[in-house]
Every structure is written in C-alpha cells, then in structure tokens.
Amino acid sequence: MFVDERIYTLHAGQVPAFLKLYEAEGMEVQLRILGKMVGYYFTDFGPLNQIVHMWGYDSLDDRYERRKQLQASEEWQNYARQMRPMVSKVENKLLVPAPFFEVK
C-alpha cells in the first residue's frame, strides 16, 4: 500500500473551523471516493495550525484515478471553495512501504 500524506498549514486560529467544515461537507465525499483513510490529525505542538491526513492506495494508478474522481466531484469542489481560504500552504508526500513492512 502506498500512502499519500497531505499537510495543510492553516491561517492562525482556523483549525476548529476547518475540522467542522470538513466533517460536515468534505469527509463523506472524500471517504467515498478515496476510500482508505489511514489517519487524520491536527498538530498540538511543533509546527502549529496544521492538518495532517493520510490516504492509502493499492498502486500509483489507483491513487491517480481516485484523485481524478475526487477533483471531478461537484460535492468536493463545493467544499474546496469554502476550505481553500483557510489554507496558507499545502504539502504532499508519497510514502512508499519499506520492503519488510506488511499492512496488518
């Protein structure tokens, strides 16, 4: 399984509003289309005002197709229009499993 790690740095004080909006309007469509939420977190110390979420994919092609479907979703675009003003920076990493790691 490949893991797509996404880090959104929000403008100061936006974490509660972001999480509330995501739970109400973004989470269901993202779960339905992307499928495998590995984790969804916010930072409490260290770099503040960050949302960190991870999604699992069977392959790079699986990731590409699911992300394409998400971006084409009107539901997702409606959510994204509300979410984007809260975000100041987006980081994205593709995490590749070590040869000895097996998902349990």
Q: What is the pLDDT along the chain (104 residues), one digit of tens a residue?
A: 899 999 999 999 999 999 999 999 999 999 999 999 999 999 999 999 999 999 999 999 999 999 999 999 999 999 999 999 999 999 999 999 899 988 77
pLDDT of residue 1: 85
How many other CB atoms sit within 10 Å of the CB of residue 51?
22
CB atoms within 10 A of CB 62: 16
Q: Hey, what domains does the chain have and what are their CATH numbers? A: 2-95 (3.30.70.100)
- Which residues are within 8 A (CB) of 80 and not within 5 positions of it... i.e. 6 or more apart? 26
Compute CA distances 101 → 1, 2, 9, 26, 92, whole Å.
Answer: 10, 11, 29, 31, 22
